[in-house]
Each structure stands twice: as C-alpha cells, then as structure tokens.
Amino acid sequence: MHKLKLRAVGNSTGVVLPREVLARLKAEKGDVVFLTETPDGFRLTPYDSEFERQMKIARDVLKRRRAALRELAK
C-alpha cells in the first residue's frame, strides 16, 4: 500500500505517483490512466487503446440495436 498526499495543481487537486507505481502500471509522464470506482474502492489502470477500440465497437452496437436488445431483455 502506498500513502499518497493530495497536492494543489492550479485550481484542482492531484496526487504524485511514486516511480515504482508508475513502473507497475507501465506508465510514464504524459500517459493517460483511468480511475474506475469499484465496490471495494477505486482502481487505477493504464490506458489501453485496444480495449478502448473494443468498447467503441460495443457502444456502437448497443446504440444501433437498442430496440432489439430491449425486446430480448423482457
């Protein structure tokens, strides 16, 4: 477990991730990471362009097939 201190960053608040955390995330300065709320707290994950591509496809399918999916859900 790492203890992180909240810091002022302009008009916002941020945290500085230790080097070992960045190494485990395989992230570096300027990369995008995702903070996701889970039932146990929060999860920080690196940006995955392949996952993002797949999610875009899924969102497009859900949008196009909304009526059919609603019928199937009944």
Please say if the pLDDT value at position 36 is more than 90.
no
Q: Are 52 and 72 in contact (CB under 8 A)?
A: no
Please list, residue by residue across 32-43, b when 16 or more beta carbons sit within 10 angstroms of its beta carbon and e when fewer do.
Answer: eeeeeeeeeeee
Please say if the pLDDT value at position 47 is more than 90.
no
Least reliable range by pLDDT among 18-22, 25-29, 46-50: 46-50
Domain ranges of the chain: 6-73
Q: Are 13 and 6 in contact (CB under 8 A)?
A: yes
Q: What is the structure's pLDDT at 27?
A: 92
